[in-house]
C-alpha cells in the first residue's frame, strides 16, 4: 500500500503541477486578449487595493450578508489556503507514517489551528452541500439561485473539499495515536476521541491507515488540480484564484462597488473624443475581444453562486435576463473562441478575416465555429446574448451589489448596448421616440421648454428663476434641479411643488433654472446612446457653470479667474437619476458640483428645527428604495428618518429593502420601453407592498412614483387594492405634517402648533 500510494501520488503531483502551470499561462494570455483600460484606472492606490482584497477575503464582507452561508464559506475558503502545509505533511507521511513537519509539527498553536480549521472546513462544506440540495432548481425552479449553474462541477468541487477535509482530520488523529497521546491535550482538542479509538490498533494498521489517508488526500487534491487545469472555464473552481486579482483590479480602489456613474466610452484604452472621433475608434462591444481585459477577467471569475440572479428584478419576473447566465455565456464563448484569437484571428469592420490561412491552420474547428457566432443575436442566429436578455436590464445594480467577487455586470451590459444603439441602430422601437424627443426638445416627452416653468404658477409663493428673478446662483443657497419628470409629469409635479413649498416654509433661499436646462442624459446613456449623453451633458454643464457665475473662455472652458470651488455650487434634486448623473457623471464633462438629494436636505432642515412635523398623518406606511438613490448612492437613512418624524405614521419594511431592495422597473431607460415578457416589475413590487396591507406606499423618486402609481391604480381597478391606498413622495408626507390644521375660516391655526426648536 505504501509503495502504491507513493507512486500514484508522485505521478499525480508531477502531472498536476505541470498542467496547472500551463493553465496559469493560458489564462494570463487569454485575459490579455481584452482591450487595455485607461492608464491608472485599475492600478491606482496599490496599498488601498491590497487592503481592500484582504478585507473582502478575510472579512468575507459580501458573503457574510447571507448568514450561515457566509460563515460556512469563510471556513472553506480560509481552510483551502491556510492548510496547504498539510499536503507537505501528507507527502512526508507516505514515506514515514509518523513524520511531522520540522519546527512547527509539534508546536501546539499550529496543531490547534489545523485541528480547528480542518474540522470547520468539513462542517462548512457539509453545510454548503445541504444548502445546495435544499435550493435545487427541481424544488425551487426559476427561484433557485442555482438555476442554470453547472451542478456536476459543483458536486465535484464539494466532494474534493469534503474528502480532503476528512483526510486532514484523520491524519491528524493518526499522528496523535502514533505519537502515544494518551490523554486530552490542546493539540487534539477535537479529535481526541478518535485518537483514543485508534490507539487500540496495532502499529501496522496505523501505518497502513496513514498511507491510505495520505495517498487519498494527495490523489484527490491533484486530480482536482489536473481537472481544473484542463478546464480553465470552470469558474466554480477557478474563482478561488481569480477572485483575488479581480477584486484588486476592481473599479474603485477603496472597495466601493461599480455602481453610481458609468465610465466614459473608451477605445483601445483611451476615452473617445466625440467631437473628433478617430477612424479606428471602437464604439461599444460587438465581439468578445472588444471587452477590456478586466471584462475577460470578470467572466472567468464567476463562481455561479447565483446571488446576482436571486436579486435580479428581470429574472424574478420571468424575463430571460439572469446576470449569472449572461456572465457564464460570455465566459464560455470567450474561452471557446480563445484559440482562434490567440492564433491572431479577428475580423475588421467589413467582416474580413485579419489572420492568414497559415495562422489559422492549427486552430480547432470548434474555435473557428465559435468565432462565427454573433455576440448579440437570437438563438436562431446563433447569438451568444439574445437581444431580449440585453434589453431586460434595468441597471438597478442588485447584481453588482451582491456579487462576492466584484463582477461589474452593468458596465458590460451597457457596453454591448452602446454598439447596438450607436452602430447597429438596433434597440426597442419605443425608446426611439424618447431619443428623438431628447434630440429635438431636450426632454423625453417632447414638450416645449416653457412648460418646464408651468408648475410655478400652481403654487402661492414666488419661485425664483435664474436669469429672471436672480442674476445668478451666487444670490441663493441652492439650485433646485427640478428635472424633466418633476417639471413635466403630472404625478411628479406634486413632489416638485411639495418640496418647493417646504423650502419656502423653512426659509431656504433657492432658485430654479429658467427652462434652458435639458435632460441630464441618464436614460440615453444607459440605453447606450453615449453620444447623446455627451451632447446633453456638455450643454447642461455649460448652462450650470454660467448660472453659478462662471464664464467661459474662447475654448469653451471655464475661465479660471471666475471658477468657483465645488462647495460653492450646491444643487438639490428630487430625482435620483438627475442626482446621480450631476453628482457622479458630470465631473467627467468638467462639471464639479455639490449635489444632494431632497430627502437629505429635508432631513437636515428637520434636524435644524426649520421644519417641524406636527400634524398627524395616520396609517401604515411602507417605503420603497429607489435603486439610484439607494444601491447606487447609498442613501437609505434620510427618507426613513423623515417618515419616523411624521406623527401618526407606522412604518413597516417590505421583505426586500435597502441593499436588497427591489426595482420599480424604470431604470436603465426601461421607463420608456414596454414590458412584453413575464410579469411587470412594478406589479411584482406593488404586490410585495400590498402584502403588508399599507395605507401609504412612499418613495423618493419620480420614476418610482409613476411606476408604483400605475400599478396601484391598476390593482384598484381590478379590486386587488383598497381605494384609500396612496402612493406619495416623502416630501408630500412631510408637507402634510408641517402644514398646521386650518380653522373654519381657512386661516392657519398657528397657535395650536408648538414652537419650533431653536436653530442649531
What's residue 234's pLDDT?
95
Q: Mutual orientation of helices 598-607 and 490-506 as an angle, nearest 10°? A: 30
CA angle, 520 as apex, 574 and 568 as ends, to 5°?
65
Q: Which helix (H) or strand (E) holds 570?
A: strand 570-573
Q: Is the pLDDT of residue 506 over 90?
A: yes
Task: Please write the tens of the pLDDT for every residue from 454-467.
Answer: 999 999 999 999 98
CA angle, 452 as apex, 449 and 457 as ends, to 5°?
130
CA-closest candidate to residue 525, choices 543, 537, 540: 537
Chain position carrying cell 492608464: 39
Task: Please write the tens of the pLDDT for every residue from 219-231.
Answer: 999 999 999 999 9
Residue 40 Cα distances to 45, 273, 532, angstroms: 9, 19, 27
Strands 266-267 and 270-271: antiparallel
CB atoms within 10 A of CB 285: 24
What's residue 745's pLDDT?
43
- CB–CB of 410/391 below 8 Å? no
Q: Is the pLDDT of residue 749 over 80?
A: no
Dig out the grid coordinates for 64 from the structure: 457574510
Task: Please write the tens of the pLDDT for every residue from 398-444.
Answer: 999 999 999 999 999 999 999 999 999 999 999 999 999 999 999 99
Residues near 256 by beta carbon (within 8 Å), at least 6 away in sequence: none
Sequential DSSP letters for 702-740: HHHHHHHHHHHHHHHHTTSS-TT-EEEEHHHHHHHHHSP
Residues near 236 by beta carbon (within 8 Å), at least 6 away in sequence: 149, 150, 153, 154, 157, 303, 304
Question: b or e along 4-38 (b: 16 or more beta carbons within 10 Å of the residue's beta carbon)?
Answer: ebbeebeebbeebeebbeebeebbeebbebbbebe
Q: Which of 17-26, 150-159, 541-550 has the lowest mean pLDDT?
A: 541-550
Task: Please write the tens of the pLDDT for every residue from 268-325.
Answer: 999 999 888 888 899 999 999 999 999 999 999 999 999 999 999 999 999 999 999 9
Dig out the grid coordinates for 38 from the structure: 485607461
Residue 138 binned pLDDT confidence (cut-offs 50, 70, 90): confident
Mean pLDDT of 170-198: 91
Q: Is the pLDDT of residue 643 over 80?
A: yes
Separation of alpha carbons 463 and 475, rounded Å? 14
Q: Which of 59-68, 409-418, 501-510, 616-625 has the lowest mean pLDDT?
A: 59-68
Separation of alpha carbons 320 and 388, rounded Å? 7
Task: Please write the tens of the pLDDT for every residue from 385-410.
Answer: 999 999 999 999 999 999 999 999 99
Q: For 550, which DSSP code?
A: P
Mean pLDDT of 163-185: 93
Q: For 443, which DSSP code?
A: S
Average pLDDT value for the chain: 92
Residues near 110 by beta carbon (within 8 Å), at least 6 away in sequence: 101, 104
Separation of alpha carbons 305 and 289, rounded Å? 25
For the entire predicted model, the pTM comes to 0.92
Separation of alpha carbons 688 and 660, rounded Å? 13
Residue 302 Cα distances to 4, 339, 351, 744, angstroms: 38, 21, 31, 66
What's residue 139's pLDDT?
66
Q: Is the pLDDT of residue 104 over 70?
A: yes
Q: Which of 421-425, 555-559, 568-572, 710-714 has the lowest mean pLDDT?
A: 555-559
Q: Is the pLDDT of residue 161 over 60?
A: yes
What's residue 748's pLDDT?
45
Q: How many residues does the chain have?
A: 760
Q: For 692, which DSSP code?
A: T
Q: Is the pLDDT of residue 1 over 90?
A: no
Q: Which helix (H) or strand (E) holds 431?
A: helix 429-441
Separation of alpha carbons 486 and 463, rounded Å? 14
Separation of alpha carbons 251 and 52, rounded Å? 12
Most confident residue range from 135-139, 521-525, 739-743:
521-525
Q: For 385, which DSSP code?
A: B
Q: Is the pLDDT of residue 755 over 70?
A: no
Mean pLDDT of 527-550: 94
Q: Is the pLDDT of residue 565 over 80?
A: yes
Strand order in the sheet with 726-729: 649-651, 619-623, 696-699, 726-729
Q: Is the pLDDT of residue 676 over 90?
A: yes
What's residue 102's pLDDT?
93
CA-closest candidate to residue 280, choices 272, 422, 288: 272
Question: b or e along 421-453 (b: 16 or more beta carbons within 10 Å of the residue's beta carbon)?
Answer: bbeeeebbeebeebbebbeebbbbbebebeebb
Q: Is the pLDDT of residue 754 over 70?
A: no
Task: Please write the tens of the pLDDT for every residue from 589-628.
Answer: 999 999 999 999 999 999 999 999 999 999 999 999 999 9
What's residue 742's pLDDT?
53
Q: Is the pLDDT of residue 95 over 50?
A: yes
What's residue 354's pLDDT?
85
What's residue 747's pLDDT?
43
Task: Please write the tens of the pLDDT for every residue from 331-365.
Answer: 999 999 999 999 999 887 777 888 888 889 999 99
Separation of alpha carbons 113 and 752, rounded Å? 68
Residues near 699 by beta carbon (within 8 Å), at least 6 away in sequence: 623, 624, 625, 626, 664, 705, 708, 727, 729, 730
Residue 556 binned pLDDT confidence (cut-offs 50, 70, 90): low
**H-type alpha helices, 317-404:** 323-342, 365-371, 387-391, 398-402
Outline where DSSP puts E strands in 426-522.
Answer: 478-481, 510-511
Q: Is the pLDDT of residue 741 over 80?
A: no
Amino acid at each position: 500500500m505504501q509503495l502504491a500510494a507513493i507512486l500514484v501520488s508522485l505521478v499525480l503531483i508531477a502531472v498536476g503541477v505541470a498542467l496547472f502551470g500551463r493553465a496559469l499561462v493560458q489564462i494570463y494570455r487569454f485575459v490579455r486578449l481584452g482591450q487595455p483600460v485607461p492608464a491608472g484606472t485599475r492600478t491606482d492606490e496599490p496599498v488601498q487595493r491590497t487592503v481592500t482584497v484582504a478585507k473582502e477575503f478575510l472579512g468575507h464582507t459580501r458573503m457574510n450578508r447571507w448568514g450561515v452561508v457566509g460563515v460556512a464559506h469563510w471556513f472553506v475558503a480560509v481552510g483551502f489556503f491556510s492548510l496547504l502545509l498539510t499536503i507537505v505533511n501528507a507527502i512526508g507521511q507516505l514515506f514515514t507514517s509518523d513524520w511531522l513537519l520540522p519546527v512547527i509539527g509539534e508546536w501546539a498553536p499550529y496543531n490547534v489551528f489545523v485541528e480547528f480549521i480542518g474540522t470547520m472546513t468539513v462542517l462548512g462544506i457539509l453545510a454548503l452541500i445541504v444548502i445546495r440540495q435544499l435550493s435545487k432548481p427541481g424544488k425551487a425552479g426559476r427561484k433557485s439561485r442555482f438555476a442554470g449553474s453547472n451542478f456536476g462541477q459543483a458536486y465535484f468541487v464539494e466532494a474534493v473539499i469534503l474528502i480532503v477535509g476528512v483526510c486532514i482530520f484523520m491524519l491528524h488523529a493518526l499522528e496523535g495515536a502514533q505519537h502515544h497521546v494518551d490523554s486530552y491535550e490542546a493539540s487534539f482538542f477535537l479529535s481526541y476521541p478518535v485518537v483514543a479509538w485508534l490507539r487500540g490498533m496495532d502499529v501496522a494498521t496505523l501505518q497502513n491507515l496513514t498511507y491510505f489517508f495520505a495517498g487519498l488526500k494527495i490523489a484527490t487534491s491533484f486530480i482536482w488540480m489536473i481537472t481544473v487545469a484542463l478546464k480553465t472555464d470552470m469558474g466554480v473552481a477557478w474563482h478561488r484564484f481569480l477572485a483575488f486579482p479581480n477584486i484588486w483590479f476592481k473599479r474603485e480602489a477603496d472597495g466601493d462597488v461599480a455602481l453610481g456613474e458609468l465610465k466614459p466610452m473608451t477605445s483601445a484604452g483611451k476615452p473617445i473624443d466625440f467631437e473628433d472621433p478617430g477612424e479606428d475608434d471602437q464604439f461599444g462591444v460587438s465581439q468578445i475581444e472588444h471587452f477590456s481585459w478586466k471584462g475577460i477577467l470578470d467572466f472567468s471569475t464567476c463562481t455561479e453562486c447565483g446571488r446576482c440572479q436571486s436579486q435580479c428584478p428581470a429574472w424574478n419576473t420571468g424575463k430571460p435576463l439572469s446576470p449569472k447566465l449572461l456572465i457564464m455565456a460570455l465566459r464560455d464563448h470567450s474561452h471557446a473562441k480563445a484559440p482562434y484569437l490567440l492564433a491572431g484571428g479577428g475580423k475588421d469592420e467589413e467582416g474580413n478575416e485579419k489572420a492568414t490561412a497559415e495562422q489559422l491552420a492549427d486552430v480547432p474547428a470548434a474555435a473557428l465555429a465559435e468565432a462565427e457566432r454573433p455576440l448579440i443575436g437570437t438563438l436562431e442566429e446563433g447569438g451568444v446574448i439574445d437581444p431580449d436578455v440585453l434589453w431586460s436590464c434595468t441597471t438597478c445594480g442588485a447584481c453588482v451589489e451582491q456579487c462576492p467577487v466584484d463582477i461589474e455586470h452593468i458596465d458590460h451590459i451597457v457596453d454591448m448596448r452602446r454598439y447596438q444603439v450607436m452602430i447597429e441602430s438596433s434597440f426597442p422601437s419605443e425608446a426611439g421616440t424618447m431619443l428623438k424627443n431628447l434630440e429635438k426638445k431636450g426632454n423625453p416627452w417632447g414638450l416645449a421648454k416653457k412648460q418646464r416653468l408651468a408648475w410655478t404658477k400652481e403654487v402661492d409663493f414666488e419661485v425664483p428663476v435664474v436669469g429672471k428673478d436672480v442674476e445668478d446662483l451666487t444670490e441663493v443657497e441652492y439650485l433646485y434641479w427640478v428635472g424633466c419628470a418633476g417639471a413635466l409629469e403630472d404625478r411628479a409635479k406634486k413632489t416638485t411643488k411639495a418640496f418647493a413649498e417646504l423650502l419656502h416654509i423653512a426659509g431656504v433661499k433657492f432658485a430654479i433654472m429658467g427652462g434652458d436646462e435639458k435632460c441630464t442624459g441618464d436614460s440615453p446613456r444607459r440605453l447606450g446612446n453615449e453620444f447623446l449623453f455627451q451632447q446633453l451633458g456638455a450643454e447642461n454643464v455649460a448652462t450650470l457653470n454660467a448660472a453659478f457665475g462662471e464664464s467661459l473662455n474662447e475654448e469653451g472652458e471655464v475661465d479660471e479667474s471666475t471658477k468657483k470651488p465645488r462647495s460653492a455650487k450646491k444643487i438639490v434634486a428630487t430625482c435620483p437619476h438627475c442626482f446621480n448623473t450631476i453628482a457622479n457623471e458630470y465631473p467627467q464633462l468638467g462639471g464639479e458640483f455639490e449635489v444632494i438629494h431632497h430627502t437629505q436636505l429635508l432631513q437636515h432642515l428637520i434636524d435644524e428645527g426649520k421644519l417641524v412635523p406636527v400634524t398627524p398623518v395616520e396609517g401604515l406606511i411602507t417605503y420603497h428604495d429607489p435603486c439610484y438613490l439607494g444601491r447606487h448612492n447609498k442613501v437609505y437613512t434620510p427618507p426613513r428618518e423623515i417618515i419616523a418624524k411624521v406623527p401618526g405614521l407606522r412604518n413597516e419594511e417590505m421583505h426586500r429593502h435597502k441593499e436588497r431592495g427591489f426595482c420599480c422597473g424604470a431604470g436603465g431607460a426601461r421607463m420608456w420601453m414596454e414590458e412584453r415578457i413575464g410579469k411587470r416589475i412594478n406589479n411584482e413590487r406593488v404586490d410585495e407592498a400590498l402584502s403588508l396591507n399599507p395605507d401609504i406606499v412612499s418613495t423618493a423618486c419620480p420614476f418610482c412614483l409613476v411606476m408604483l402609481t400605475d400599478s396601484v391604480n391598476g390593482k384598484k381597478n381590478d379590486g386587488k387594492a383598497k381605494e384609500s391606498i396612496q402612493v406619495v413622495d416623502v416630501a408630500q408626507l412631510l408637507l402634510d405634517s408641517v402644514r398646521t390644521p386650518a380653522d373654519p375660516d381657512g386661516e392657519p391655526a398657528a397657535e395650536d402648533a408648538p414652537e419650533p426648536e431653536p436653530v442649531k
